[in-house]
């Protein structure tokens, strides 16, 4: 590790194979916590290169406990986090709304590191069971239309990194990797990223695969469609900039999508929205993201996807999906 750190400090990039090798060595416990923290810190001060990102991704996918659900046409709605905006759990809510519209969802998530409440924090608070049992996950897809993949259960190799990330409390390159390493290998992906450079890296890497994808970056820094301004959309069929008006809604303020100060308050916002008690701004931002997911899978227009998302939320279908998942989690 000393040689690797010296090279990185001298602004030398790693090759794809070297990057992969470092993560494999971390997983094998070859480095101490100080060395790992130093390694993570380097990438807080300079951008990760495309080859490094690809190497890190390949290592995590090679080491993960994969879930074989290739018979299902699923999508993952996931953001990198790390945008510093502290919104409520928009992509997780959008996942249930998409499921309520008939789209199968394999939701990959984790506890919050650089935010108050990550996807797993809210799911755990609401009584959703975390499991890597294939039969249970397939049953969730069959009966609820959504299954939750809690990252630590599928990436045990990263147990040496998790406490260090938590202690650092800031975004690291693992934020960049999260959406890329879904152990179910979904055929579709809606992913939000915290900067435009990373959006282009994702686009390049996803072009080399076979999945159907849409990559989002709000121009004012959000890792999702925020409706506070324009959002860059890069997909396997087009590259464009969307405005709130493209969803047929008005622009909103940042304060309209604030996420609260605790897991409890985040969970309350979550359930209020699914119960039909959300504000217009909250409902619209959830439906905008869910609508893009629906559009990505069904290849319908964004307006049609948004309409289907609204129907899912307002009819209570999305809430029923959460309640079914909670019910399945009790057994």
**Would you list the DSSP string of 169-224?**
-S--HHHHHGGGG-TT--SEEEEE-SSHHHHHHHHHHHHTS--EEEEEEETTS-SS
Task: Quickly count: other Cβ atoms within 10 Å of residue 17's Cβ.
Answer: 11
Q: Which of these, 77, 63, 6, lies nearest to 29 by C-alpha position?
A: 63
- Residue ranges of domains in the chain: 2-63, 74-328
Task: State whether CATH 1.10.150.20 applies to domain 2-63.
Answer: no
Q: What are phi and psi of 300, to 5 degrees?
A: -100, 175
Q: Which of these, 11, 240, 264, 223, lies nearest to 117 by C-alpha position?
A: 264
Angle at which helices 33-45 and 2-9 cross, to 10°? 20
pLDDT at 114: 61
Residue 84 to residue 88: CA distance in whole angstroms: 12
CATH class of 74-328: alpha beta
To 10 degrees, the CA torsion angle through 186, 192, 197, 200?
40
Could you list the pLDDT tens digit for every one of the 331 residues in the chain?
889 999 998 999 999 999 999 999 988 889 998 998 999 888 888 888 999 999 999 999 999 999 999 999 999 998 887 666 778 999 999 999 999 999 999 999 988 766 677 899 999 999 999 999 999 999 999 999 999 999 999 998 788 787 787 777 777 777 778 888 999 999 999 999 988 888 999 999 998 876 799 999 999 989 999 999 999 999 998 899 999 999 999 999 999 998 878 899 999 999 999 999 999 999 999 999 999 999 999 999 999 999 999 999 999 999 999 999 999 999 7
Can you give the C-alpha Rg of the chain in angstroms? 19
Q: Supply the pTM of this predicted model.
A: 0.93
């Amino acid at each position: 590790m000393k040689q690797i750190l010296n090279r990185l400090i001298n602004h030398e990039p790693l090759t794809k194979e070297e990057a992969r090798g470092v993560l494999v060595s971390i997983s094998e416990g070859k480095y101490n916590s100080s060395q790992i923290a130093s390694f993570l810190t380097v990438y807080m001060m300079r951008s990760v290169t495309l080859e490094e990102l690809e190497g890190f991704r390949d290592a995590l996918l090679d080491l993960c406990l994969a879930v074989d659900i290739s018979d299902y046409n699923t999508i993952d709605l996931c953001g990198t986090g790390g945008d510093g905006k502290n919104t409520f759990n928009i992509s997780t809510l959008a996942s249930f709304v998409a499921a309520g519209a008939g789209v199968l969802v394999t939701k990959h998530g984790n506890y919050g590191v650089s935010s108050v409440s990550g996807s797993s924090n809210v799911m755990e608070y609401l009584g959703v069971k975390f499991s890597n049992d294939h039969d249970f996950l397939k049953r969730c897809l069959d009966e609820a239309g959504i299954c939750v993949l809690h990252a630590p259960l599928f990436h045990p190799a990263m147990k040496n990194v998790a406490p260090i990330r938590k202690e650092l409390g800031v975004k690291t390159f693992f934020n960049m990797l999260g959406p890329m390493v879904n152990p179910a290998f979904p055929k579709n992906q809606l992913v939000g990223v915290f900067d435009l450079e990373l959006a282009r890296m994702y686009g390049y890497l996803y072009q080399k695969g076979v999945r159907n994808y849409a990559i989002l970056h709000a121009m004012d820094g959000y890792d999702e469609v925020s409706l506070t301004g324009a959002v860059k959309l890069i997909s396997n069929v087009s590259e464009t900039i969307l405005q709130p008006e493209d969803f047929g809604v008005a622009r909103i303020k940042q304060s309209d999508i604030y996420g609260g100060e605790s897991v409890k308050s985040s969970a309350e916002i979550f359930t209020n929205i699914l119960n039909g008690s959300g504000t217009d701004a909250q409902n619209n931002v959830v439906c905008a993201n869910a609508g893009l997911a629906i559009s990505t899978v069904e290849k319908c227009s964004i307006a049609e996807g948004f309409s289907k998302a609204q129907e899912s939320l307002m009819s209570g279908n999305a809430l029923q999906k959460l309640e079914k998942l909670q019910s399945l989690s009790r057994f």
